Amino acid sequence: MLTDCASMRTLLTLCSMNEETMNLSIDVFLIIFLSIILIAAAINDLRFQKIPNLLTYPSMAVAVGCHVVMNGLDGLLFSAGGLALGIALLIIPYLMGGMGAGDAKLMGAVGAILGVRGVFIAFLFTAIAGGVYALILLLIKRQHFKGFFTRHLTTLKTFIFTQQLIPIPDDQNEKKPKLCYGIAIALGTLFSVFLEFSGYYKFPI
């Protein structure tokens, strides 16, 4: 009898270890999957100034599916909440023309993998990365921005002295610099994931 109880306890322990190992491997799979998606999105955005739906929508589906398999209804709520928040965080900049729809959908895919808390932290680091990226772009393309500010300053002076708003058109032959925000999303998200999952720093939220 004692032998049977010991055997049953051993079996349950092994099953529990196998379940934990499976969950751990799925977590690792999702992080690797997220890294691949972000790198692909950054490269695509840099080369073509676009993040395709073929990259974002399947990523959302895979992430939601994995979380449902792992945790059922709780996993669905975890993933769907992160997806919704990720898109919501960038929907206003998109509507204002500050970035493309692909950027908002990419952040939604990040949220589907990391959940509400994870995508919010990733968004904060993305904002920092985006600010640094914009500053670097400003320094590199300073001649363009100098012309931009000069045109608008002249328009403002004209309006003050003549009470007429006469905007000075942009040079059609001038190539405008574009902020590829997919790069900022990739850098910010990967850095936040590294800090969190490496155990180097746990965010107090």
DSSP state of 194: H
Q: What's the one-letter identity of residue 53?
A: N
What is the reported pLDDT for 121?
Answer: 94
- Give the model confidence (pLDDT) of 11-49 as tens digits: 334 444 443 444 444 588 899 999 999 999 999 999 998
What is the reported pLDDT for 40?
Answer: 97
Task: Name the percent of the chain lying above pLDDT 70.
Answer: 69
Encoded tokens for 91: 């929907």
Report whether pLDDT(10) > 60. no
What is the reported pLDDT for 95?
Answer: 87
Report whether pLDDT(6) > 60. no
Burial class of 42 by CB neighbour count within 10 A (0 to 12, 13 to 18, 19+): buried
- Give the model confidence (pLDDT) of 138-169 as tens digits: 787 666 555 556 665 776 767 677 776 666 56
Whether this prediction's pTM lies above 0.85 is answered by: no
The Cβ-side half-sphere exposure at 197, using a 13 Å CA radius, reads 17
